[in-house]
Structure 1
C-alpha cells in the first residue's frame, strides 16, 4: 500500500535527510521519499499501520517531530506567545549585559554582567539546550550540541556577553530561518488550492455540498460564478468563461457553453454552469497535476544527490579538523588549550551544512512549482537539470509543430478550368465522404456544384460521381491514365479527373500552429544549438514546414524506430536532447531523450511516457520552461558557492585564531536564511 504522512515541527533539513535514509534502510519500507519543502513523507509498505514505527524513527533522530496522516489538520509550527515573550525579555537582558560590559566594566559589575548574560542565555536558548542535551545523550553531534558546548565554553572562559549574544543570534536566526522555510512552503502549498475538496451536487432539483471525491462519473454538479471547477466534465447548461491559467499558464479566459469540455482547477467566470462529470476526483486534471508536482520530489537531481553524499562526508571531516585545531597548536606551544578549543568550537558551529541541505531541494521544488504555475509539469529535479542543459530540441511534426488538421494549400489547374471550379467540383465529388482529406476540401470550397449523381467511394483510390453524364473522379494518382505532372512529383496531392482527363490537382498540408515559429525563434535566442524536426510525413511536406518555421534540420518518412535511432545518435554526439511530441505514437522517443515533453493533458500515454507535460497543449510555454530550469540551476550553484565560501572564510579565520563564535553563527544560520530566501524567490520571479 502507498502511504503519505506529514512530518510536523521538522525544520532541520539535515535531520530530515537522516529520517528519510533511516526509513529507507528499515525492512518493510519501499520507495521512500521525503519532500522537505512540503513536509510530505511518501512510501510503500505491506504493514497495516506503519505510523507508530515511523514516529519512533523520527523520535530517535529529531525530538519533537510529530507524524500525521495527510488527512489530519496540520498544527501551527510557529513559536507560542510565551516563547516569544521569553525571547524578547532575553534580548532586553542581553542588550543590557552588552551595554554594561562596554561602558561599566568594574570588578563589581562583573557579577551583574554574568547574571544578565546567564538570564538572557537561558530565556532565549532553553529550547536549544534541551534539544542539545537530548542529542548528546543519543551520542549525536548536531548543531544544537555544538551551540550548547560553545556557549558553555564561552561562560567558562569568562566571555559571558559573547555566550549570551551567540545564543540570541542563533535563536533569532533559527526563527527567521523557520519563517523563511514556512513562507516558501506556503507559497508552494498554494498549488493545492487549484483542487477544490468539495462539489455542489445537483440531484432531483436540489443542490447539496458533498466531498468532491464522493462524486461519481456522470453526476451533475453546479459551479457558481467565480468558483473553482472541482471535476472534469462537459457543460450541460449555462454560458460562462473559464480561467485556466493555473492549469495551462494561458492568461486569457476561455468562452464556454453547452457541450464545452471543462477541466477541474479552472475558475468559472460570471455565469452559473452545470457540468456532467466525466472523470473521478483522483483522475481529474487538477488532481493529476498536483500528483505530478508532488511526485516530482522523488526524482532528485544530480546536485541534490551530490549534496546528500557531500553532507555525509563533509561533517566527519570538519569534526576531525576541529579536533586537530583544538589539540595540535597547544602541543606545539602556539597558545593555550582554552584558546584553541574556542577556535575549534567556532569551526564546528560554522561548518553546519544546513544552508546547502535546505536550499538545494527547496530550489528544485520552487522551480517545479513555478513551471507548474506557467503550465509546464516537470516530473523531477533530474529532468529540470536536463532541460536547463538541453542544447538540441527535437520536435515531432504532426500535432506538435502543426495542428494535425489538413487544409488546402494550393490548387493546380489543367485545360480550361479555374481554381475555384476545380475546388468546387472536388468538394461536390467528396460530398458524402468522411475522410479527413475530403473534409478539408469541402471546407475550402467557396461554392457548391449541383447536379451530381451515382456517388460511390472505392478504398485506396477515391470518390466517384456522374456529372453531366460523364464520370468525375477525385482521389490519388491511381486515377491517372498518364504519368504524374512534373510539378506534382514528390508532392502529396489529390487529383480531379473528368471524363478520363486530368482537370486539376489539390495540394493539402497540415496547418502550422500559430506559436510554432515564434517558439523556435525564442529557443534560438536562448542559445539552443540545433532544432530538429522528425516526422513520418513526406519529404515535401516536411521541407515546407521546416522552411516556414526556420528549423535547422528535418528528417522525413520516419518510422518510430528510426526516430529513436536519430535521438540516440544525437546523444552519442554529446548533445543533451529535449524531444517534444504528442506522447501517443512517440512514447519510445520521449523515453529515450534526456527530457521528453508531451503536448497536453489529454492522453494517459503522454503523461506516462514523458518527463514533462505542456499542459496547455501548445508550445507557447516551452521557452519559459527553459528559462525557469536555467534559473533554478543558477540559483543552486550560486547558493552552494556562497555558503561554502562564507563557511570556508570563517573556518580559515578560526584556524588563524581571528574568528569569534558569533561569526560562526552568521556563517551557519545567517547564510541559511539568505539561501532559503534566494531559493523561495524562484516562485515569485517573472520569467
Structure 2
C-alpha cells in the first residue's frame, strides 16, 4: 500500500493513504491491521481525509512503516482482523445527521424569507402534533404532549421563531439520544460477543481434533460438553444436554436439547454432551441476536435511571397544572407558557443513559465488560464481596509443582492420563495439568471413552474397561472410596499441605497425587485493603479447597472470614443468607462451580481466563484478569451514582428557576426555551465526559 508520512515525532506519525477515496471498510481494515501490531499503542483512521494517526512505542518506527507497506485490502489475513461491527458506519451516520441539521437551520435562517420559514416550521411541527395526539388518545400525558403544546402555543401566538427553535433543539436532542442508545447497544453487544478461540471437531473417522474456531466451516461436527460454550450455531445430530440459553433468550430454566434441536452460539450446556452440525460460520448470527435481546431488555437502565424516567413523565402533568394555575392567577398567557417551554424530562432522559454509557465506556478502557447499568448501581451499593480462591485470589496460571505416584504408576503415565482427561474441561487447574504435559513433551491422545464432568468434584471416564477418576479429595478418596495401602501410607501422609492436591485413581486404586502450586496474586492483599477502605463491610472467601490451604490464604490476605471444602450450592446459599440480612453481594469467581453463586449475587463478576460458562453467567467480566480492576469498578460505579444524583439536582434546580422567572414575567418564553435546551445539551455533553481521571 502506498502511503506518505505527513508529520512525525517520537512515537507518533501522521500518514496519508494515497488513493482517491477510502471506503468505511478499507478504513476499518487499515485501523485493525495496524492496531494488531504489538508495538502500536493507538491508531485512528479518518476515511474522509485518507489520513491515519499512529502512536507506537519508541524504537519501532521501521516495524510500523513496513506494516503499512505490506497492507493489502484483498489479503484475507487482514480482513479477518476486522470485527463484524466496528461502529464506524454508525458514527458517520450520526455525525452527518448532526451536521445536516445545523447547516439546514443556519441556511433557512439566513436565506429563507419569513413566510417560507413559517411554512417550513408548521410542516416540521406536524409530526410533533401527531405524536402528542397519539399519546392523548392512549390516555397518557407524556413528554410528546408537552412538546406539541409548546410548539402549538408558539405558533398560535404568532411566534414561529420560538416554535422553530424548540423543534431544532428537540431534533438535536433526539439525534443525540438515538446515537447514544445505538452506540450503547453496539458497544454492549461487542462486549458480549463470543470469543471462543478453539473448538473440538469430530472427524469422519470418529477422532476428536482441537481446531481454531475461525477455521470451522458450515457442515463440520462440533463436540461440546458440560461448561463448554457452544461456539457456533447448529443442529444437534447426537447426544443430549440441558443448555443454559439465558445469555441469548433470557430463559431462566435450562432447555433440554437432543437430536434435531437447534443450538445457538454463546449458550452453555449445564450438563450433558452434544455433537452438532454447524450451520453458521464464526462471526455470523450471534451479534444480531444479542442486539435484539438488548433492545428488548432493560439492562441499560439502573434502578435510579428508571425512577428518573418515571418521574420525568409524571412531571409533565405537573407542568400543565402549573400552566393552568399561573394563567388563572395572572391572566397572562406569556407567563403561563413558561411551563410549556421548560420541562424536566428532556434533560433527565438524555443525561441519564449518557452517564451510564460513559461509565460503561470508562470500564471498557480498563478491559472491564459491563452487561448493564443496573449492575454498576449494585456495585456501588454492595456491602459484601465473596471471592473464590483458585484462579481468583490466586493466580489463574497455577503450576504442577510435583507428582507423587502410587501403585506402580510412573510420573509420565500418570500425567499423560491426567492431561488426557483434563483437556476437555477448561479451568485453571485443568490448564495447569495440560500445560505441564506439554512442557514435558508428553503426548496424550484420546485413550478413554466418554468423559463425564461432575461439578465441584472432578472428572470420571473409562479406560480399557476400568473406571478412572480425577478431582478433589472429597470426590476421589471419599465418594469413590479409594484407599491407600499401608505400604504407601507414609508417602501419602508426607504430601506437603501448602499445595492444592489433585487426586488421580484408576480401577479403585490411587495412581497419583498432582501437587498444584497456586500462589496468591501479588495484588490481592492490596485490593482487599482498598475494598475495606471503600466501604465493603464483609470480604470473605469460599473455596472447594482443603481447610489448611484456605486458612493460609485467608490469614495472609486478612479476610473477614473464609469457608473451605464447600459445594456450589453452599456458595449460592451464603449469598442468599447475606440477602436475608439486607446486604447486596458481589460474587467474584472463575470456575464452573462458581456459576450458581454468580447468578444468585446482585453482581456476578468473572475473570477472563476462567471457565467460559462463568463468563457467560457473570454480569461483569474483567478481561485482563487483574483483581485491581475490582477497585477500579467500584470507583467507576460510585462516580456514576454521584454524577446521576448531581445531574438530577442540577436539572431540577436550573429548570425550576427558569419556570419561576418565566411565571414572574422576568423571562420571555423563547429565552426560557433557549436556556432550557442549551442546559439540556450541556448536561448531556457533561454526562459523556470520563467519570474518573486516567492514571
Provide TM-score, normalisation by structure 2. 0.54
Match of 2:384 among 379, 384, 392: 392
1:484–1:88 Cα change, 3 Å = closer
Residue 394 (structure 1) shift: 0.9
Tell me if structure 2 keeps the 8 A contact 1:292–1:379. no
Q: CA shift at 1:377, angstroms?
A: 2.7
Deviates more, 1:278-287 or 1:512-521: 278-287
> Matched residues in 2 for 1:672 and 1:288: separation?
34
Pairing of 1:574-589 with structure 2 (within 5 A): 574-589=582-597
Aligned residue runs from structure 1 range 303-382, under 5 A: 303-327=304-328, 329-330=329-330, 337=331, 339=332, 341-372=333-364, 374-382=366-374
Equivalent in the alignment of 1:125: 121
Q: Residue 433 of structure 1: which of 403, 414, 425 is its match?
A: 414
* Counterpart residue number, 1:173: 169
Per the alignment, do residues 670 and 214 of structure 1 end up closer, same or farther by CA in structure 2, a change over 3 Å counting? Answer: farther
Structure 1 residue 678 and structure 2 residue 674: aligned?
no
Figure out how many residues of one structure are paired with residues of the other and give that number: 469
Q: 1:684 to 1:676 in 2, by over 3 A?
A: farther
The residue matched to 1:433 in structure 2 has which SS?
A: helix
Equivalence for 2:448: none
The CA distance in 2 between the partners of 1:461 and 1:657, in whole Å, is 82
Compute the RMSD of aligned alpha carbons: 5.3
Aligned to 1:267: none
Question: Match of 1:418?
Answer: none
Alignment correspondent of 1:151: 154
What residue in structure 2 maps to residue 479 of structure 1?
A: 488
Change (3 A) 1:168 1:313: closer
Rate the CA distance shift 1:461–1:317 in 2: closer, same or farther, 3 A.
closer
- 1:376-398 CA distances to partner (integer Å, 9 max, x unpaired)? 33222222211122232211111
1:370, 1:683 within 8 Å by CA — same for their partners in 2?
A: yes
Q: Are the counterparts in 1 of residues 636 and 692 from structure 2 also a CA contact under 8 Å?
A: no
When normalised by structure 1's length, the TM-score is: 0.55
Please list the CA deviations of residues 520-574 of structure 1 after superposition, one character each: whole Å capped at 9, or x if unmatched: 3443454433321111212220122223344332222222333233222333333
Matched, 1:88 2:69: no
How far is the alpha carbon of 1:173 from its aligned partner?
A: 2.8
Q: Note the alpha carbon deviations across 1:628-676, whole angstroms, 9 max, x for none.
A: 3233322222222211111211222234333321343135422321232
**Residues in 1 aligned to 2:129 and 2:502: alpha-carbon distance in whole angstroms:** 85
Aligned residue for 1:480, secondary structure, equals helix
Q: Match for 1:520 among 525, 528, 535?
A: 528
Change (3 A) 1:524 1:407: same
Shift of 1:142: 2.5
Q: Please report how far the alpha carbon of residue 147 of structure 1 lies from its aligned counterpart in structure 2 after TM superposition.
A: 2.7
CA distance in 2: counterparts of 1:429 and 1:83, whole angstroms: 76
Deviation at 1:167, TM superposition (A): 3.9
In 2, the alpha carbon distance for the partners of 1:619 and 1:604 equals: 18
- Classify the secondary structure of the residue corresponding to 1:681: coil
C-alpha distance in 1, partners of 2:392/2:486? Answer: 29
Cα distance in 2, alignment partners of residues 494 and 182 from structure 1:
54
Q: Which residue of 2 aligns with 1:49?
A: none
Distance apart, 1:342 and its partner CA: 1.5
Call closer, same or farther: CA 1:127–1:607 in 2, change over 3 Å. Answer: farther
Judging changes above 3 Å, is the alpha-carbon distance between structure 1 residues 304 and 539 closer, same or farther for their aligned structure 2 residues? same
Q: Is the 8 A contact 1:493 1:507 kept in 2?
A: yes
- Could you tell me whether the CA contact under 8 Å between 2:375 and 2:603 is conserved in 1? yes
Contact 1:394 1:532 in 2 (8 A): yes
- Give runs of aligned pairs for residues 635-646 of structure 1, distance below 5 A: 635-646=643-654
Question: In structure 1, which of residues 558, 561, 573 is the aligned counterpart of residue 569 of structure 2?
Answer: 561
What's the CA shift for 1:357? 1.7
Corresponding residue number in structure 2 for 1:216: 218
Between 647-656 and 296-305, report the one with greater CA deviation. 296-305
Instruction: State how far apart, in whole Å, the 1-side matches of 2:289 and 2:129 are.
Output: 45
Q: 1:558 to 1:167 in 2, by over 3 A?
A: same
Aligned to 2:235: none
**Aligned residues of 2:405 and 2:411 also touching (Cα < 8 A):** no
Give the Cα–Cα distance (whole angstroms) in 2 for the partners of residues 292 and 526 of structure 1.
Answer: 34
Query: Aligned partners of 1:175, 1:400: CA distance in 2, in Å?
Result: 48
Tell me which residue corresponds to 1:104: none
Q: Identify unmatched segments of 5+ residues in structure 2.
A: 1-88, 137-143, 195-213, 222-230, 233-264, 266-277, 420-428, 441-465, 472-482, 504-512
Q: 1:460 to 1:324 in 2, by over 3 A?
A: closer
Residue equivalent to 1:227 = none
Match of 2:619 in 1: 611
- State how far apart, in whole Å, the 1-side matches of 2:289 and 2:529 are: 32
| Corresponding residue for residue 237 of structure 2 | none
Aligned to 2:551: 543
Question: Which residue matches 2:677?
Answer: 669
Q: Which residue of 2 aligns with 1:658?
A: 666
Where do 5+ consecutive residues of structure 1 fail to align? 1-72, 95-115, 156-162, 197-211, 220-230, 233-263, 265-276, 331-336, 412-421, 448-456, 463-473, 496-504
| 1:143 Cα deviation from its structure 2 partner | 3.9
CA distances 1:73-126 after superposition (whole Å, capped 9, x unpaired)? 9895756999766633554489xxxxxxxxxxxxxxxxxxxxx8x549627734
| SS of equivalent residue, structure 1 residue 551 | coil
Measured after TM superposition, the shift of residue 428 of structure 1 is: 10
Deviations 1:506-527 (CA, angstroms, capped at 9, x unpaired): 9764233455345434434544
Decide whether aligned partners of structure 1 residues 671 and 405 sit closer, same or farther in structure 2, where only a CA change above 3 A counts. closer
Alpha-carbon separation, structure 2, partners of 1:81 and 1:481: 80
Q: How far apart, CA to CA, are the structure 2 residues paired with 1:458 and 1:281?
A: 37
The answer as to whether partners of 2:351 and 2:684 remain within 8 angstroms in 1 is: yes
The question of whether the paired residues in 1 share the 8 Å contact of 2:380 and 2:637 is answered with yes
State how far apart, in whole Å, the 1-side matches of 2:656 and 2:552 are. 58
Q: How do 1:199-278 residues align onto structure 2 when only pairs under 5 Å count? A: 215-216=217-218
Which residue pairs with 1:302 in the alignment?
Answer: 303
Determine if contact 2:567/2:593 at 8 Å carries over to the other structure. Answer: no
Instruction: Report the CA distance shift for 1:131/1:432 in structure 2 as closer, same or farther (over 3 A).
Output: closer
Other structure's SS at 1:351 match: coil
Cα distance change, pair 406–621 in 1 and its aligned pair in 2 (3 A):
closer
